[in-house]
Amino acid sequence: MRKTLTSVLAGIGLVLACGTSVYAQDKELTIFWAEWDPANYLQELGNEYEKETGVKITVETTPWSDFQTKAFTEFNAHGDAYDLVVGDSQWLGAGSTGGHYVDLTDFFNKHKLGDVMAPATVKYYAEYPGNSGKYWAIPLEGDAVGWSYRKDWFEDPKEKEAFKAKYGYDLDVPKDFKALRDIAEFFHRPDQKKYGIAIYTDNSYDAMAMGFENALFSYGGELGDYSTYKVDGFINSDKAVAALDAYKELYKFTPPGWAKAFFVEDNQAITENLAAMSMNYFAFFPSLINEASNPNAKNTGFFANPPGPNGDQFAALGGQGISIVSYSQKQDEAMKFLEWFIKDETQKKWAALGGYTCSAAVLKSPEFQNATPYNKAFYETMFKVKDFWAVPEYAELLQQLNQRIYPYMIGGQGTAKETLDALATDWNATFKKYGRGQ
């Protein structure tokens, strides 16, 4: 009996010894992000950091569809599996008021990041609440929605001639939403298995919101007033109604089965010769100029989200900032990594690896703008972006938007005005529930 007891104790001791020694030896930081190319670029950047400092960086990823759920499950359990997280811009409210993110205001001010990073990225990726001067993240991956198109289809002389005969103006990159619609209609030929346009329609997370926002903002509409939480007269204004109708109109010219489309499907529309134009985040464009992933790479062009009827031109913002998780045991080490990350030469390296830097200086540099066919459009777009609500209950607001807009867009139920009036009522009720703007 005593023998067994001794051996068990020895075993436990051994396990503990090994466990602690592993902890003591390795300096390691874990960054959590979604599974996509930029995360691989960040891993490469992390490898550079390891070479310089000996601190190992591991970028852990999960598919986009689980990203939000998995991150918040870990936060809510106060788990320290991740030291840093590259969270979606909408998470700022929940992350900061929920106590999941470390307050980075001092760090931000010390390094004057408000001047170093592009203004829109500071406003939407770092600050919460709006205009409070409190910062919770460092802008890491700038992103917005842009468009890719088939240059070969657009430049075909026969198509150009037919287009001019039908619409009375030249076929070119769309200069406004009306042209976008006309071109989509023009190329929509189901009998030839060619379709006009690929847009976001998925209603499971923020796809539908991001897609609709492109029309809404360029039509001069707004989701609401971000400081007073007033939505009546904004989301159901005449401009918003016209924008929703314009977005629904585009759905007519999408490939068959386009009712659950997000970034994967929209890139496929170009690679599989399905559509003439396709909406997508800039972050997904690198694979479109890569011949290995896009057989039409040479014939793919890019343009920024076009203006609406009154000349307003905006785009929906994607992108993420990097935050320190408040339950991490290695916050000091994480802070050191951020200090390294914001250095100019690191930002240049980040851009060279394929990351979309938010550093204003790098964005403005000609070497960045000429590096790829879409970088210039990206630079232009990043100064004309707007984002969804970032309040902690943003997921409820998204769900309500999906619930109202999807049946109208895809199922053709009701009218645009009815849809947006109902959405305004839903949002008012939600804001009231959480005591906002009362």
Q: Closer to other proteins at the Cβ: 168 or 256? A: 256
Nearer to other proteins among residue 177 and residue 253 (C-beta): 253
Interface pattern 347-376 for other proteins (x via CB under 8 A): ------------------------------
Cα-based distances in Å from 95 to 72, 136, 271: 9, 8, 37
CA 436 centroid distance within chain: 26
Interacting residue with other proteins among 395, 418, 422, 425 (CB under 8 A): 395
Q: Per CB under 8 A, does 190 bind other proteins?
A: yes
The encoded tokens of residue 76 equal 């809510």
The amino acid that residue 47 corresponds to is N
Written as six digits, the tokens of 330 are 């290695």
Binding to other proteins in span 254-273, by CB under 8 A: 255-260, 272
Give the integer Cα–Cα distance in Å for 308 and 310.
Answer: 6
Q: Are 402 and 330 in contact (CB under 8 A)?
A: no
Q: Which stretch binds other proteins (CB under 8 A): 71-79, 216-224, 281-289, 416-424?
A: 71-79
- Considering beta carbons, is residue 108 or 258 the nearer one to other proteins? 258
Residue 206 touches other proteins, criterion: CB under 8 A: no
DSSP labels for 204-224? SSSHHHHHHHHHHHHTT--S-
> The tokens 């109109």 sit on which residue?
249
Point out which residues pair with 388 in neighbouring strands: none
Nearer to other proteins, 164 or 433 (CB): 433
- Select the residue interacting with other proteins from 205, 217, 263, 368 (CB under 8 A): 205
Interaxial angle between packed helices 344-353 and 37-53, expressed in degrees from 0 to 180 and rounded to the nearest 10: 140
For position 6 contacting other proteins by CB under 8 A, the verdict is no
> Applying CB under 8 A, does 435 fall inside the site for other proteins?
no
User: Do the Cβ atoms of 308 and 122 come closer than 8 Å?
Assistant: no
Of 404, 124, 117, whose CA–CA distance to 240 is shortest?
A: 404
Identify the H or E element spanning 14: helix 2-25
Task: Establish if 46 lies at the interface with other proteins (CB under 8 A).
Answer: no
Q: Closer to other proteins at the Cβ: 132 or 403?
A: 403
Q: What are phi and psi of 76, to 5 degrees?
A: -65, -30
Cβ-based nearer residue to other proteins, 182 or 206: 206
Binding segment for other proteins (CB under 8 A), chosen from 95-103, 216-224, 232-240, 295-303, is: 95-103
Q: Does 7 bind other proteins (CB under 8 A)?
A: no
The window from 18-26, 163-171, 301-309, 407-415 that contacts other proteins (CB under 8 A) reads 407-415
CA distance 397 to 206: 10
Interactions with other proteins, residue window 153-182 (CB under 8 A): none
**Interaction between residue 251 and other proteins (CB under 8 A):** no
List binders of other proteins among 271-330 (CB under 8 A): 272, 274
Closest distance to other proteins from the beta carbon of 190 (Å) = 7
Which residue is it, tokens 């930002």? 347
Residue 129 interacts with other proteins (CB under 8 A): yes or no: no
Instruction: Report if residue 189 touches other proteins, rule: CB under 8 A.
Output: no
DSSP 60: E
How many alpha carbons lie under 13 Å from residue 12 in its C-beta half-sphere?
5
Cβ-based nearer residue to other proteins, 203 or 237 = 203
Residues 6+ apart with CB under 8 A from 199: 211, 247, 250, 251, 254, 258, 261, 266, 279
Token pair belonging to 23: 């902890």
Could you tell me the smallest distance in angstroms from the CB atom of residue 99 to other proteins?
5
Which residues contact other proteins (rule: CB under 8 A)? 68-69, 72-73, 75-76, 94, 97-99, 190, 193, 202-205, 255-260, 272, 274, 392-393, 395-396, 399, 403, 406-407, 410-411
